[in-house]
Amino acid sequence: MLKKYCLYILRWQLSTPILYGVIWLLTGHINAIWITIIANFIGALIFFWVDKFIFRNRRSRNPLWEIKEGVSCHDCGVISKGYRIVEWQGYSRIDDKEPEYRCKDCSAKKLLQVEKLLQYGTKL
């Protein structure tokens, strides 16, 4: 968080040359309010992308799985190696008190369901 904060402070300093350049070019030609509006407009065009980079989500794009030997599949009941998605972007089952394990086939179907829910932004 501190690293991000320092990066953000540095990012604000990067807008200084833009502000300075616009003020230097336009002072004496147009009103101070218009100079400020133009400088902020140019800044916004550039720093939208910089801010997006600073505040990007570093969460893994791949799901975190837990695999357990010899469990009963929650969906079909077969006893086999069980899989469950523990965490994936907005989906979290870290504190699940009754974790559901699935066989290889059923976990593949569950993966598609979760993927669809994440894609449509449904709160899980």
Residues that bind Zn ion (CB under 5 A): 73, 75-76, 103, 106
Which of residues 54 and 78 has its CB atom nearest to Zn ion in the complex? Answer: 78
Please, what is the minimum distance in Å from the beta carbon of residue 102 to Zn ion? Answer: 5
Sign of CA dihedral 59, 61, 63, 64: negative
Which of residues 36 and 80 has its CB atom nearest to Zn ion in the complex? Answer: 80
Which of residues 59 and 104 has its CB atom nearest to Zn ion in the complex? Answer: 104
Evaluate whether 41 touches 67 at the Cβ level (below 8 Å). no
Residues 6+ apart with CB under 8 A from 39: 18, 19, 22, 23
Which H or E element spans position 64? strand 64-72
